[in-house]
Structure 1
Amino acid sequence: MLTGLFLLAGHGMVQRAARKQAKAQAGRDLSKWHRELRRQSYVDCIVTYEKVRDMIVPLSRAIPWPVSRALSDTEAQELDALLATLGERYDEAFQKCQIVRLEGPEAVADAAQRLIFAAADFRQAADERALAARNGERPVQSPAWTSSAEKMNDQLEEFIEIARAVISVD
Protein backbone atom coordinates (compact mmCIF):
# COMPACT_ATOMS: atom_id res chain seq x y z
CA MET A 1 0.00 0.00 0.00
CA LEU A 2 2.78 2.40 0.91
CA THR A 3 4.50 1.54 -2.33
CA GLY A 4 1.33 2.40 -4.20
CA LEU A 5 1.21 5.83 -2.57
CA PHE A 6 4.82 6.48 -3.52
CA LEU A 7 4.11 5.42 -7.08
CA LEU A 8 1.08 7.73 -7.28
CA ALA A 9 3.02 10.64 -5.79
CA GLY A 10 5.89 10.02 -8.17
CA HIS A 11 3.52 9.82 -11.11
CA GLY A 12 1.87 13.12 -10.04
CA MET A 13 5.25 14.83 -9.84
CA VAL A 14 6.18 13.59 -13.29
CA GLN A 15 2.88 14.87 -14.69
CA ARG A 16 3.33 18.30 -13.05
CA ALA A 17 6.86 18.54 -14.41
CA ALA A 18 5.65 17.56 -17.88
CA ARG A 19 2.86 20.18 -17.73
CA LYS A 20 5.33 22.83 -16.56
CA GLN A 21 7.73 21.94 -19.36
CA ALA A 22 4.93 21.99 -21.95
CA LYS A 23 3.75 25.38 -20.69
CA ALA A 24 7.28 26.79 -20.89
CA GLN A 25 7.67 25.44 -24.45
CA ALA A 26 4.32 26.94 -25.45
CA GLY A 27 5.49 30.30 -24.09
CA ARG A 28 8.72 30.09 -26.10
CA ASP A 29 6.76 29.14 -29.22
CA LEU A 30 4.37 32.05 -28.72
CA SER A 31 7.29 34.49 -28.25
CA LYS A 32 8.97 33.16 -31.39
CA TRP A 33 5.75 33.49 -33.39
CA HIS A 34 5.18 37.04 -32.12
CA ARG A 35 8.78 38.01 -32.95
CA GLU A 36 8.39 36.65 -36.48
CA LEU A 37 5.09 38.51 -36.88
CA ARG A 38 6.70 41.77 -35.77
CA ARG A 39 9.73 41.22 -37.96
CA GLN A 40 7.53 40.61 -41.01
CA SER A 41 5.39 43.69 -40.35
CA TYR A 42 8.55 45.79 -39.92
CA VAL A 43 10.01 44.45 -43.17
CA ASP A 44 6.75 45.08 -45.04
CA CYS A 45 6.71 48.64 -43.75
CA ILE A 46 10.33 49.25 -44.79
CA VAL A 47 9.92 47.75 -48.26
CA THR A 48 6.76 49.69 -49.08
CA TYR A 49 8.25 52.88 -47.66
CA GLU A 50 11.33 52.48 -49.82
CA LYS A 51 9.04 52.26 -52.84
CA VAL A 52 7.73 55.72 -51.91
CA ARG A 53 11.28 56.96 -51.50
CA ASP A 54 12.19 55.49 -54.90
CA MET A 55 9.86 58.08 -56.46
CA ILE A 56 12.20 60.97 -55.56
CA VAL A 57 14.46 60.58 -58.60
CA PRO A 58 11.83 60.04 -61.31
CA LEU A 59 9.74 62.89 -59.94
CA SER A 60 12.73 65.23 -59.75
CA ARG A 61 13.44 64.47 -63.41
CA ALA A 62 9.81 65.06 -64.40
CA ILE A 63 9.46 68.29 -62.44
CA PRO A 64 12.25 70.68 -63.43
CA TRP A 65 13.33 73.14 -60.78
CA PRO A 66 13.63 76.03 -60.91
CA VAL A 67 10.69 76.37 -63.26
CA SER A 68 11.64 77.91 -66.57
CA ARG A 69 8.50 77.15 -68.60
CA ALA A 70 5.15 75.42 -68.35
CA LEU A 71 5.17 71.69 -68.94
CA SER A 72 4.07 70.39 -72.33
CA ASP A 73 0.98 68.20 -72.52
CA THR A 74 3.14 65.09 -72.83
CA GLU A 75 5.30 66.11 -69.87
CA ALA A 76 2.18 66.86 -67.83
CA GLN A 77 0.73 63.42 -68.63
CA GLU A 78 3.97 61.71 -67.62
CA LEU A 79 4.00 63.73 -64.41
CA ASP A 80 0.39 62.79 -63.67
CA ALA A 81 1.28 59.11 -64.06
CA LEU A 82 4.21 59.50 -61.66
CA LEU A 83 2.06 61.35 -59.12
CA ALA A 84 -0.57 58.59 -59.36
CA THR A 85 2.14 56.00 -58.69
CA LEU A 86 3.37 58.06 -55.75
CA GLY A 87 -0.18 58.15 -54.38
CA GLU A 88 -0.58 54.38 -54.71
CA ARG A 89 2.75 53.72 -53.06
CA TYR A 90 1.99 56.18 -50.29
CA ASP A 91 -1.35 54.45 -49.61
CA GLU A 92 0.36 51.06 -49.38
CA ALA A 93 3.10 52.41 -47.09
CA PHE A 94 0.47 54.09 -44.94
CA GLN A 95 -1.31 50.76 -44.49
CA LYS A 96 1.89 48.87 -43.66
CA CYS A 97 2.98 51.56 -41.19
CA GLN A 98 -0.41 51.37 -39.49
CA ILE A 99 0.10 47.63 -38.97
CA VAL A 100 3.43 48.38 -37.31
CA ARG A 101 1.74 50.96 -35.12
CA LEU A 102 -0.64 48.23 -33.94
CA GLU A 103 2.12 45.67 -33.39
CA GLY A 104 4.27 48.09 -31.39
CA PRO A 105 5.99 48.46 -29.08
CA GLU A 106 5.59 52.19 -28.49
CA ALA A 107 9.02 53.26 -29.77
CA VAL A 108 8.52 51.44 -33.07
CA ALA A 109 4.91 52.63 -33.34
CA ASP A 110 6.06 56.23 -32.90
CA ALA A 111 8.80 55.77 -35.50
CA ALA A 112 6.24 54.34 -37.95
CA GLN A 113 4.04 57.38 -37.36
CA ARG A 114 7.00 59.65 -38.19
CA LEU A 115 7.51 57.68 -41.41
CA ILE A 116 3.93 58.40 -42.41
CA PHE A 117 4.29 62.11 -41.63
CA ALA A 118 7.55 62.36 -43.59
CA ALA A 119 6.02 60.63 -46.63
CA ALA A 120 2.96 62.90 -46.43
CA ASP A 121 5.24 65.96 -46.36
CA PHE A 122 7.08 64.69 -49.44
CA ARG A 123 3.83 63.99 -51.25
CA GLN A 124 2.65 67.54 -50.50
CA ALA A 125 5.97 68.99 -51.70
CA ALA A 126 5.72 66.96 -54.90
CA ASP A 127 2.18 68.24 -55.52
CA GLU A 128 3.29 71.85 -54.94
CA ARG A 129 6.30 71.50 -57.21
CA ALA A 130 4.19 69.80 -59.88
CA LEU A 131 1.59 72.58 -59.81
CA ALA A 132 4.26 75.24 -60.22
CA ALA A 133 5.88 73.33 -63.10
CA ARG A 134 2.54 72.77 -64.86
CA ASN A 135 1.80 76.50 -64.73
CA GLY A 136 5.32 77.62 -65.52
CA GLU A 137 5.34 79.66 -62.31
CA ARG A 138 8.03 79.89 -59.74
CA PRO A 139 6.38 80.23 -56.34
CA VAL A 140 7.59 82.90 -53.94
CA GLN A 141 8.76 80.10 -51.70
CA SER A 142 10.32 76.99 -53.11
CA PRO A 143 8.51 73.82 -52.15
CA ALA A 144 9.91 71.82 -49.27
CA TRP A 145 11.12 69.23 -51.76
CA THR A 146 14.70 68.76 -50.58
CA SER A 147 13.97 68.91 -46.87
CA SER A 148 11.07 66.46 -47.16
CA ALA A 149 13.16 64.00 -49.19
CA GLU A 150 15.95 64.20 -46.61
CA LYS A 151 13.44 63.78 -43.81
CA MET A 152 12.10 60.60 -45.45
CA ASN A 153 15.64 59.18 -45.53
CA ASP A 154 16.37 60.16 -41.94
CA GLN A 155 13.09 58.78 -40.62
CA LEU A 156 13.60 55.48 -42.42
CA GLU A 157 17.07 55.04 -40.95
CA GLU A 158 15.71 55.86 -37.49
CA PHE A 159 12.87 53.37 -37.92
CA ILE A 160 15.28 50.62 -38.98
CA GLU A 161 17.51 51.19 -35.95
CA ILE A 162 14.59 51.15 -33.52
CA ALA A 163 13.03 48.08 -35.14
CA ARG A 164 16.36 46.26 -35.11
CA ALA A 165 16.77 46.95 -31.39
CA VAL A 166 13.26 45.69 -30.64
CA ILE A 167 13.70 42.50 -32.64
CA SER A 168 17.04 41.72 -31.01
CA VAL A 169 15.42 41.92 -27.55
CA ASP A 170 12.27 39.93 -28.37
Structure 2
Amino acid sequence: MLAFHTHHAILAAGSAVPTTTAPWWGTALGAGIGAIGAGIVSSVVAVLNNRASRKQLQQQLERQEAMLDKQLDAQREQHSAQLQAQLRQHSEQLQSQQRDNLVALEAQAERGHLDIDAQRQREIEQRHAEREQWRLEARQKAYVDFVTAAERMRDTVAALGRILSGTFPIAGGLQPSELSRLATTQEQMHTLYEAAFQQAQVVRLAGPRDVAAHAQDLSLVMNEYLNYSDERIRAAQQNRPSETLRDWQKSVRRMQDHLEAFLDAAYLVVNATPATSRSAS
Protein backbone atom coordinates (compact mmCIF):
# COMPACT_ATOMS: atom_id res chain seq x y z
CA MET A 1 0.00 0.00 0.00
CA LEU A 2 2.88 2.42 0.75
CA ALA A 3 4.34 1.73 -2.65
CA PHE A 4 0.95 2.37 -4.25
CA HIS A 5 0.60 5.78 -2.54
CA THR A 6 4.19 6.63 -3.35
CA HIS A 7 3.47 5.85 -7.01
CA HIS A 8 0.49 8.19 -7.05
CA ALA A 9 2.48 10.90 -5.27
CA ILE A 10 5.22 10.65 -7.79
CA LEU A 11 2.67 10.83 -10.60
CA ALA A 12 1.07 13.83 -8.98
CA ALA A 13 4.43 15.51 -8.49
CA GLY A 14 5.42 14.80 -12.05
CA SER A 15 2.30 16.40 -13.36
CA ALA A 16 3.11 19.59 -11.46
CA VAL A 17 6.57 19.94 -13.04
CA PRO A 18 6.72 21.75 -16.33
CA THR A 19 6.79 19.45 -19.33
CA THR A 20 10.25 18.93 -20.56
CA THR A 21 12.02 16.24 -22.36
CA ALA A 22 13.15 13.80 -19.81
CA PRO A 23 16.62 12.55 -19.89
CA TRP A 24 17.23 8.93 -20.78
CA TRP A 25 17.63 7.90 -17.26
CA GLY A 26 14.28 9.52 -16.39
CA THR A 27 12.50 7.44 -18.98
CA ALA A 28 14.10 4.35 -17.72
CA LEU A 29 13.23 5.23 -14.18
CA GLY A 30 9.63 5.84 -15.15
CA ALA A 31 9.41 2.53 -16.91
CA GLY A 32 10.82 0.79 -13.87
CA ILE A 33 8.42 2.48 -11.60
CA GLY A 34 5.57 1.52 -13.93
CA ALA A 35 6.69 -2.08 -13.87
CA ILE A 36 6.85 -2.01 -10.10
CA GLY A 37 3.37 -0.56 -9.90
CA ALA A 38 2.02 -3.20 -12.25
CA GLY A 39 3.60 -5.89 -10.07
CA ILE A 40 2.07 -4.40 -6.97
CA VAL A 41 -1.36 -4.32 -8.63
CA SER A 42 -0.97 -7.91 -9.75
CA SER A 43 -0.01 -8.87 -6.21
CA VAL A 44 -3.02 -7.05 -4.81
CA VAL A 45 -5.30 -8.70 -7.33
CA ALA A 46 -3.78 -12.09 -6.47
CA VAL A 47 -4.28 -11.39 -2.80
CA LEU A 48 -7.88 -10.39 -3.43
CA ASN A 49 -8.43 -13.42 -5.60
CA ASN A 50 -6.86 -15.62 -2.96
CA ARG A 51 -9.11 -14.11 -0.33
CA ALA A 52 -12.13 -14.69 -2.51
CA SER A 53 -11.03 -18.25 -3.11
CA ARG A 54 -10.52 -18.81 0.59
CA LYS A 55 -13.93 -17.29 1.31
CA GLN A 56 -15.55 -19.47 -1.30
CA LEU A 57 -13.66 -22.47 0.03
CA GLN A 58 -14.76 -21.56 3.59
CA GLN A 59 -18.35 -21.32 2.42
CA GLN A 60 -18.04 -24.69 0.71
CA LEU A 61 -16.54 -26.16 3.86
CA GLU A 62 -19.32 -24.66 5.94
CA ARG A 63 -21.92 -26.06 3.55
CA GLN A 64 -20.23 -29.46 3.63
CA GLU A 65 -20.06 -29.33 7.42
CA ALA A 66 -23.74 -28.39 7.59
CA MET A 67 -24.56 -31.24 5.17
CA LEU A 68 -22.45 -33.62 7.23
CA ASP A 69 -24.20 -32.44 10.39
CA LYS A 70 -27.55 -33.08 8.73
CA GLN A 71 -26.40 -36.50 7.56
CA LEU A 72 -25.05 -37.30 11.01
CA ASP A 73 -28.28 -36.10 12.61
CA ALA A 74 -30.27 -38.20 10.17
CA GLN A 75 -28.02 -41.19 10.82
CA ARG A 76 -28.34 -40.67 14.57
CA GLU A 77 -32.11 -40.41 14.28
CA GLN A 78 -32.23 -43.49 12.08
CA HIS A 79 -29.94 -45.37 14.43
CA SER A 80 -31.99 -44.19 17.41
CA ALA A 81 -35.18 -45.29 15.66
CA GLN A 82 -33.62 -48.67 14.90
CA LEU A 83 -32.51 -49.01 18.50
CA GLN A 84 -35.96 -48.06 19.75
CA ALA A 85 -37.53 -50.53 17.32
CA GLN A 86 -35.14 -53.22 18.50
CA LEU A 87 -35.87 -52.35 22.11
CA ARG A 88 -39.61 -52.52 21.45
CA GLN A 89 -39.14 -55.81 19.65
CA HIS A 90 -37.05 -57.19 22.48
CA SER A 91 -39.54 -55.86 25.01
CA GLU A 92 -42.41 -57.44 23.12
CA GLN A 93 -40.49 -60.69 22.86
CA LEU A 94 -39.74 -60.61 26.57
CA GLN A 95 -43.35 -59.84 27.37
CA SER A 96 -44.48 -62.63 25.05
CA GLN A 97 -42.02 -65.03 26.68
CA GLN A 98 -43.19 -63.91 30.11
CA ARG A 99 -46.81 -64.46 29.09
CA ASP A 100 -45.94 -67.85 27.65
CA ASN A 101 -44.01 -68.73 30.79
CA LEU A 102 -46.87 -67.52 32.94
CA VAL A 103 -49.37 -69.52 30.90
CA ALA A 104 -47.10 -72.57 31.11
CA LEU A 105 -46.71 -72.14 34.87
CA GLU A 106 -50.45 -71.69 35.30
CA ALA A 107 -51.09 -74.79 33.18
CA GLN A 108 -48.50 -76.70 35.18
CA ALA A 109 -50.05 -75.52 38.43
CA GLU A 110 -53.49 -76.48 37.15
CA ARG A 111 -52.21 -79.93 36.21
CA GLY A 112 -50.61 -80.17 39.62
CA HIS A 113 -53.90 -79.24 41.29
CA LEU A 114 -55.74 -81.74 39.13
CA ASP A 115 -53.20 -84.42 39.96
CA ILE A 116 -53.46 -83.61 43.66
CA ASP A 117 -57.26 -83.63 43.48
CA ALA A 118 -57.21 -86.89 41.56
CA GLN A 119 -54.79 -88.42 44.07
CA ARG A 120 -56.93 -87.15 46.95
CA GLN A 121 -60.03 -88.56 45.28
CA ARG A 122 -58.32 -91.91 44.75
CA GLU A 123 -57.26 -91.96 48.39
CA ILE A 124 -60.80 -91.10 49.48
CA GLU A 125 -62.22 -93.81 47.26
CA GLN A 126 -59.63 -96.27 48.51
CA ARG A 127 -60.39 -95.44 52.14
CA HIS A 128 -64.08 -95.65 51.38
CA ALA A 129 -63.59 -99.01 49.67
CA GLU A 130 -61.58 -100.26 52.64
CA ARG A 131 -64.25 -98.99 55.01
CA GLU A 132 -66.95 -100.61 52.92
CA GLN A 133 -64.98 -103.85 52.85
CA TRP A 134 -64.54 -103.73 56.61
CA ARG A 135 -68.23 -102.96 57.06
CA LEU A 136 -69.18 -105.80 54.72
CA GLU A 137 -66.96 -108.24 56.58
CA ALA A 138 -68.39 -107.05 59.90
CA ARG A 139 -71.92 -107.48 58.58
CA GLN A 140 -71.15 -110.92 57.24
CA LYS A 141 -69.83 -112.04 60.61
CA ALA A 142 -72.80 -110.50 62.43
CA TYR A 143 -75.25 -112.13 60.03
CA VAL A 144 -73.58 -115.53 60.31
CA ASP A 145 -73.45 -115.39 64.11
CA PHE A 146 -77.10 -114.36 64.30
CA VAL A 147 -78.27 -117.05 61.88
CA THR A 148 -76.26 -119.66 63.78
CA ALA A 149 -77.83 -118.58 67.09
CA ALA A 150 -81.33 -118.50 65.56
CA GLU A 151 -80.92 -121.97 64.04
CA ARG A 152 -79.79 -123.37 67.37
CA MET A 153 -82.87 -121.83 68.93
CA ARG A 154 -84.99 -123.34 66.19
CA ASP A 155 -83.42 -126.77 66.75
CA THR A 156 -84.88 -126.84 70.26
CA VAL A 157 -88.26 -127.37 68.63
CA ALA A 158 -87.29 -130.93 67.76
CA ALA A 159 -85.80 -131.63 71.18
CA LEU A 160 -88.86 -130.26 72.95
CA GLY A 161 -91.18 -132.15 70.60
CA ARG A 162 -89.50 -135.47 71.36
CA ILE A 163 -90.00 -134.98 75.10
CA LEU A 164 -93.58 -133.65 74.81
CA SER A 165 -94.78 -136.01 72.10
CA GLY A 166 -97.46 -137.60 74.24
CA THR A 167 -101.00 -136.45 74.97
CA PHE A 168 -101.43 -134.95 78.40
CA PRO A 169 -102.43 -135.83 80.88
CA ILE A 170 -100.65 -139.18 80.73
CA ALA A 171 -100.83 -142.01 83.20
CA GLY A 172 -98.31 -141.53 85.95
CA GLY A 173 -96.97 -138.34 84.34
CA LEU A 174 -93.45 -137.91 82.99
CA GLN A 175 -90.64 -140.06 84.32
CA PRO A 176 -87.95 -138.39 86.41
CA SER A 177 -85.45 -138.77 83.57
CA GLU A 178 -87.87 -137.09 81.20
CA LEU A 179 -88.49 -134.30 83.65
CA SER A 180 -84.72 -133.85 83.99
CA ARG A 181 -84.25 -133.73 80.22
CA LEU A 182 -87.16 -131.28 80.00
CA ALA A 183 -85.57 -128.98 82.57
CA THR A 184 -82.21 -129.17 80.81
CA THR A 185 -83.84 -128.40 77.47
CA GLN A 186 -85.67 -125.42 78.97
CA GLU A 187 -82.45 -124.05 80.43
CA GLN A 188 -80.67 -124.46 77.05
CA MET A 189 -83.57 -122.68 75.32
CA HIS A 190 -83.18 -119.66 77.56
CA THR A 191 -79.42 -119.62 77.06
CA LEU A 192 -79.78 -119.92 73.27
CA TYR A 193 -82.40 -117.19 73.21
CA GLU A 194 -80.14 -114.81 75.13
CA ALA A 195 -77.34 -115.47 72.65
CA ALA A 196 -79.66 -115.00 69.66
CA PHE A 197 -81.05 -111.78 71.15
CA GLN A 198 -77.55 -110.36 71.62
CA GLN A 199 -76.62 -111.24 68.05
CA ALA A 200 -79.84 -109.62 66.82
CA GLN A 201 -78.75 -106.37 68.45
CA VAL A 202 -75.39 -106.57 66.69
CA VAL A 203 -77.17 -107.09 63.36
CA ARG A 204 -79.40 -104.10 64.05
CA LEU A 205 -76.30 -101.96 64.63
CA ALA A 206 -74.52 -103.31 61.55
CA GLY A 207 -77.54 -102.67 59.35
CA PRO A 208 -78.82 -101.88 56.87
CA ARG A 209 -82.35 -101.00 57.94
CA ASP A 210 -84.07 -103.78 55.98
CA VAL A 211 -81.88 -106.51 57.46
CA ALA A 212 -82.09 -104.92 60.92
CA ALA A 213 -85.90 -104.99 60.69
CA HIS A 214 -85.90 -108.70 59.82
CA ALA A 215 -83.53 -109.40 62.73
CA GLN A 216 -85.86 -107.50 65.07
CA ASP A 217 -88.91 -109.43 63.85
CA LEU A 218 -87.10 -112.75 64.20
CA SER A 219 -85.96 -111.96 67.75
CA LEU A 220 -89.56 -111.08 68.72
CA VAL A 221 -90.87 -114.34 67.28
CA MET A 222 -88.16 -116.30 69.13
CA ASN A 223 -89.26 -114.59 72.35
CA GLU A 224 -92.87 -115.68 71.68
CA TYR A 225 -91.67 -119.20 70.98
CA LEU A 226 -89.72 -119.19 74.25
CA ASN A 227 -92.76 -118.02 76.25
CA TYR A 228 -95.07 -120.62 74.69
CA SER A 229 -92.43 -123.28 75.26
CA ASP A 230 -92.18 -122.35 78.95
CA GLU A 231 -95.95 -122.66 79.23
CA ARG A 232 -95.90 -126.13 77.58
CA ILE A 233 -93.09 -127.25 79.87
CA ARG A 234 -95.01 -126.12 82.94
CA ALA A 235 -98.12 -127.95 81.68
CA ALA A 236 -96.12 -131.12 81.10
CA GLN A 237 -94.51 -130.89 84.52
CA GLN A 238 -98.02 -130.56 85.96
CA ASN A 239 -99.24 -133.38 83.70
CA ARG A 240 -101.97 -131.32 82.09
CA PRO A 241 -102.81 -130.27 78.53
CA SER A 242 -101.16 -127.07 77.26
CA GLU A 243 -103.52 -124.20 76.60
CA THR A 244 -101.07 -122.57 74.17
CA LEU A 245 -100.20 -125.56 71.99
CA ARG A 246 -101.64 -124.00 68.82
CA ASP A 247 -99.95 -120.66 69.57
CA TRP A 248 -96.68 -122.53 70.11
CA GLN A 249 -97.03 -124.27 66.73
CA LYS A 250 -97.78 -120.93 65.03
CA SER A 251 -94.72 -119.36 66.63
CA VAL A 252 -92.59 -122.22 65.30
CA ARG A 253 -93.82 -121.61 61.74
CA ARG A 254 -93.40 -117.86 62.08
CA MET A 255 -89.89 -118.29 63.46
CA GLN A 256 -88.96 -120.36 60.40
CA ASP A 257 -90.55 -117.82 58.00
CA HIS A 258 -88.74 -114.86 59.59
CA LEU A 259 -85.46 -116.75 59.56
CA GLU A 260 -85.80 -117.36 55.81
CA ALA A 261 -86.77 -113.71 55.23
CA PHE A 262 -83.70 -112.60 57.16
CA LEU A 263 -81.48 -114.91 55.11
CA ASP A 264 -82.85 -113.49 51.87
CA ALA A 265 -82.31 -109.88 52.97
CA ALA A 266 -78.82 -110.62 54.31
CA TYR A 267 -77.89 -112.38 51.07
CA LEU A 268 -78.83 -109.30 49.02
CA VAL A 269 -76.64 -107.08 51.20
CA VAL A 270 -73.63 -109.37 51.24
CA ASN A 271 -73.69 -109.90 47.47
CA ALA A 272 -74.61 -106.33 46.50
CA THR A 273 -72.27 -103.99 44.58
CA PRO A 274 -70.61 -101.18 46.59
CA ALA A 275 -72.97 -98.55 45.11
CA THR A 276 -76.04 -100.64 45.95
CA SER A 277 -74.67 -101.36 49.40
CA ARG A 278 -74.15 -97.62 50.07
CA SER A 279 -77.66 -96.75 48.91
CA ALA A 280 -79.13 -99.55 51.03
CA SER A 281 -77.33 -98.35 54.14
Is 1:73 matched up with 2:176?
Answer: yes
Count the aligned residue pairs.
170
CA distance in 2, matches of 1:165, 1:140: 40
CA distance in 1, matches of 2:167, 2:124: 65
Q: Could you tell me how far 1:15 is from its partner in structure 2? A: 2.5
**Which string of whole-angstrom CA distances, capped at 9 and with x for unpartnered residues, describes residues 6-49 of structure 1?**
55554443233212211121112211211221121111111110
TM-score, normalised with respect to structure 2: 0.56
Aligned in 2, Cα 1:16/1:80: closer, same or farther, shift over 3 Å? same
Is 1:124 matched up with 2:245?
Answer: no
**Which string of whole-angstrom CA distances, capped at 9 and with x for unpartnered residues, describes residues 55-102 of structure 1?**
111111112342124212221111101111111111000000011112
Is 1:29 matched up with 2:100?
Answer: no
* Aligned 1:1-170 pairs, distance under 5 A: 2=101, 5=105, 7-67=108-168, 68-69=170-171, 70-140=173-243, 142=245, 144-167=247-270, 168=272, 169-170=276-277
Unaligned runs of 5+ residues in structure 2 are: 1-97
Q: Could you tell me how far 1:140 is from its partner in structure 2? A: 5.0
CA distance in 2, matches of 1:140, 1:159: 30
CA distance in 1, matches of 2:147, 2:174: 33
Q: Could you tell me how far 1:53 is from its partner in structure 2? A: 0.6
Q: Could you tell me how far 1:142 is from its partner in structure 2? A: 3.3
CA distance in 1, matches of 2:244, 2:203: 35
**Which string of whole-angstrom CA distances, capped at 9 and with x for unpartnered residues, describes residues 92-142 of structure 1?**
000000111122222211111111111111111211111111111124553
CA distance in 2, matches of 1:64, 1:146: 13
CA distance in 1, matches of 2:237, 2:176: 9
TM-score, normalised with respect to structure 1: 0.89
Moved more, 63-72 or 126-135: 63-72
Structure 1 runs of 4+ off > 4 angstroms? 6-9
Q: Could you tell me how far 1:143 is from its partner in structure 2? A: 5.1
CA distance in 2, matches of 1:38, 1:127: 32
Aligned in 2, Cα 1:144/1:65: closer, same or farther, shift over 3 Å? farther
Give the CA RMSD over aligned residues. 2.0
